[in-house]
Structure 1
Amino acid sequence: MFESWPVHFQPEPRREVEPPVAVIVDLALGIARSPIGRRADGLPLRVRAESLQMDAKVPGALHAWARTARGDWLGRVRLRIPAGQGWLETDQWIAAVAITPVTTTRQGTNKPKRPLI
């Protein structure tokens, strides 16, 4: 994954997660959007009904971490973004603040936990 990113210092500013970790992603926090947004009630119903739903919390699989030049961490997550009656499957770099790991309890329910990095 990081073959074309040579690193000369330690600790490295990236790492692969093997095996991938189950996570919940808050899309509203994790993917930057235009600061000049529109109110949903001002959009045509066809746009609201069939567009990407970026305010959702969705399950995903964390595959890697990478640090930005500003010191923030991003996680590479494979996830499905809800879209109309379906979804868009993608690998996306997501801000760490929007990624929560999932653990399985003895009763079989999933509960988010912190921290992950």
Structure 2
Amino acid sequence: MGAVLHTPYTRWTDDDGRGRRPVFTAVWVRLDALYARPSGTPGHEVAAGLDVTGEVPGRLHGWLSSVKGEWLGVVDFEMPYADGRRERLAVADQLVPAQALRPDRTRRSVAEQEPGVGDDRRGS
């Protein structure tokens, strides 16, 4: 995914003199928490819509603070479609509230890796 949003909390590494590269931390993005439907709101299903339930793997590369002191992670992740198609919607530099993130201890933090982020955990 190209350039990343630089924040005061972006970690950097020097790749043997080839330049600074951001360090990505593996996280799980809780889509249910990020895209919560207000209680009592009527809904209807759109078969070809995005599946905003469960968790998907993401790459955290910075933090920003809101005026109220809430922390927002800067995250790249891919969202699945509800109809089961293989393609996903890739989103970059999304501001995700800290409570919608959790560490992924199965993947390691690395400097600028390929965006293939692995399997998702929808419905967990």
**TM-score when scaled to structure 1?**
0.64
More strand by share: 1
1:52 aligns with one of 50, 67, 78: 50
Unaligned runs of 5+ in 1: 4-13, 106-117
Aligned to 2:118: none
* Structure 2: unaligned runs, 5 residues or longer: 12-21, 108-124
Q: Counterpart of 1:103?
A: 105
Q: Which residue does 1:37 correspond to in 2?
A: 41
Read off the aligned partner of 2:96 and give its amino acid letter: I
TM-score by length of 2: 0.61
Give SS of 2:53's match. coil
Task: For 2:35 and 2:9, locate their aligned partners in 1 and report how far apart those are by CA, in whole Å.
Answer: 21
Larger Rg: 1
Partner of 1:24: 28
Give the percent of matched residue pairs that are identical in Structure 1 and Structure 2: 30
After TM superposition, which residue ranges in structure 1, 4 or more long, deviate above 4 angstroms?
A: 32-36
**CA–CA separation in structure 2 for the residues paired with 1:63 and 1:96:** 13
- How many residue pairs were aligned? 89
Calculate the aligned-residue CA RMSD, in Å: 2.4
Q: Which has the higher contact order (CA 8 A, sep 6+)?
A: 2
Richer in helix (by share): 1
